[in-house]
Amino acid sequence: MRWNWEQLGWPKFLYESKALAALEQQFLLQSGEFMGVFRHVGSADQDALRIELISEEALKTSAIEGEILNRESVQSSLRHQLGFGPDAANIPAAERGIAKMMVALYEHFAAPLADATMFAWHSQLLSGNTTIKSIGDYRTHDDPMQVVSGPIHKRIVHFEAPPSKRVADEMRRFIAWFNDTAPQGATPLPALTRAGLAHLYFVCIHPFEDGNGRIGRALSEKALAQNLGHPSLIALAYTIERKRKDYYAALERNNKDMAVTDWLQYFAHTVLEAQVTTIQRIDFYIAKAKLYERLRDRLNERQAKVIARLFKEGIDGFKGGLSAENYITITGTSRATATRDLQDLVEKGALGKTNTLRHTRYHLALGDEKAG
C-alpha cells in the first residue's frame, strides 16, 4: 500500500483533536475581530471591499496553479455578477468563469454540497478550455491521475489518485461526509478541522481532469463559511500562494498515511494567518480612503498616478520601497521634478521615507494624520 486511499482505514482520517483545540478557539476569536473591523467600513465601501477581497482570492487561487488572470477583467465580471455594474462584452472566458464560481461560492455557501455544485464550479473554471475532455463532470479516462514533476525522462510522482472507475463512489462518500460534518449535520466538526479535512480528502480523490486544487480550496472556504454562518472573505488562497512550496510539501507529506494531525495543524495556521492578513487588508482599505479624503484635490497628476500605483501594490507595498527612479519610470518626468514631487508628498504626509541620498526609499504614510 502506497497512497492513503489504498489503505484499509480510508477514508477515516486520524488526528489529535487536542492538538487543534487552541487553534480552533483562536479562529473564532479572530472571526469576531474581522466582523468588528468590517463593520467600521461604510455600506457603500463594503461592496467595493468585497469585490477587492473576492477578486484577490480568484486571482491567487488561479496563480497557485500557474494561471495568471487579468485583475481588471475579474473585478469587472465580479461587479456584474454581484449586481453592481453592466456586463462587459470583452471579458475573457477564464476571468468570467472564475468570477462566476467565486460569486456562487459567496452567495450559496450555506447550501448543502452536491455533485451539481462542483460540476457547475468546474464548468465555470474551465470555461473556454478546449484541451480537457470532461468539463462539468468527473474524470473517466483510464490513464492514472498523477501529480508529477521533473523532466519527461525522469518523472517524480508526488501522488497518484484512485482510478477513474472509483471516483463516483468516492465522491458519493465525500459529499455525504461533507454534509454530515456541517454545523447542522449528523456529526458536526469544528471549523478548522472540517475545512482542512475537506481539502485533503477532496484532493486525494482528485475527481476532475483539471481544477482540483482550485475546487479543493473553494470547498475549504465553503466549510469555513458554513461554520461561521456567513461568507468568510478570508485571504486563504492569497496566503497559500505566498508560501506555495510549503503548501505542496504539506499535501505530499500527508497523502501516504491516514494520520493527518500534521496537515491539520499546517492548514489551521494557514487559515489563522489568512484571517490576520484579511484584517490588515481591511485596515489598509480604510487608511486608503482616509488618505484620499485628506489629500483631495491636493495631488498633481503625476503624484496621483504614483499614489494609485502604490495602493495597487497592496499591503506588501512596493518591492524594496519606492525610489526616485521608480517615480521617474512611472510618471515619465525629470529627476528634478520627481525630487520636488516626492518632497511635497512627504510634507503633505502622503509618504514617509527611509535612508538618505541615492538609498532613499518612500512608502505610504497611512498611519499619519498630518494635515500638510
From the list 141, 176, 163, the residue with the least C-alpha distance to 3 is 163
pLDDT of residue 356: 76
- Give the CA diameter of the chain: 73
pLDDT of residue 154: 81
**SS3 state of residue 65:** coil
From the list 304, 296, 308, 241, the residue with the least C-alpha distance to 270 is 241
Q: Please give the Cα distance from 21 to 17 (Å, whole number).
A: 6
Number of residues that make up the chain: 372
CATH architecture of 298-364: Orthogonal Bundle (1.10)
**SS3 state of residue 89:** coil
For the CA atoms of the chain, what is the radius of gyration? 23
> Rounded to the nearest 5°, which phi and psi values hold at 356?
-140, 170
Residue 181, all three cell numbers: 460534518
DSSP 367: T
pLDDT of residue 371: 41
Specify whether the CB–CB gap between 49 and 282 falls below 8 A. Answer: yes
Fold of 4-283: Fic-like fold (1.10.3290)
Enumerate the β-bridge partners of residue 146: 160
Enumerate the β-bridge partners of residue 259: 14
From the list 277, 280, 268, the residue with the least C-alpha distance to 224 is 268
Q: Please give the Cα distance from 331 to 341 (Å, whole number).
A: 11
- Could you list the pLDDT tens digit for every one of the 372 residues in the chain? 589 999 999 999 999 999 999 999 999 999 999 998 888 887 778 898 999 999 999 999 999 999 999 999 999 999 999 999 888 889 999 999 999 999 999 999 999 999 999 999 999 999 989 899 999 999 999 988 998 888 877 889 999 999 999 999 999 999 999 999 999 999 999 999 999 999 999 999 999 999 999 999 999 999 999 999 999 899 999 999 999 999 999 999 999 999 999 999 999 999 999 999 999 989 998 888 889 999 989 999 999 999 999 998 888 788 889 999 999 999 999 999 999 999 999 999 999 998 877 789 999 998 644 444
Is the peptide bond between 144 and the residue preceding it cis, with omega within 30 degrees of 0?
Answer: no
pLDDT of residue 370: 45
Terminal Cα-to-Cα distance of the chain (whole angstroms): 69
Q: Please give the Cα distance from 343 to 244 (Å, whole number).
A: 39
Specify whether the CB–CB gap between 256 and 3 falls below 8 A. Answer: yes
Q: Please give the Cα distance from 89 to 95 (Å, whole number).
A: 12
Cα dist from 63 to 11, 48, 98, 207, 304, whole Å: 29, 22, 12, 21, 29
Q: 187: part of which helix (H) or strand (E)? A: none
From the list 78, 165, 163, 94, the residue with the least C-alpha distance to 135 is 94
Q: Where are the beta strands (DSSP E) in 129-256?
A: 146-149, 156-160
Q: Which residues contact 168 (CB under 8 A, 6 or more apart)?
A: 138
Distance of CA 312 to the CA centre of its chain: 17
In the chain, domain spans: 4-283, 298-364
pTM here is 0.89
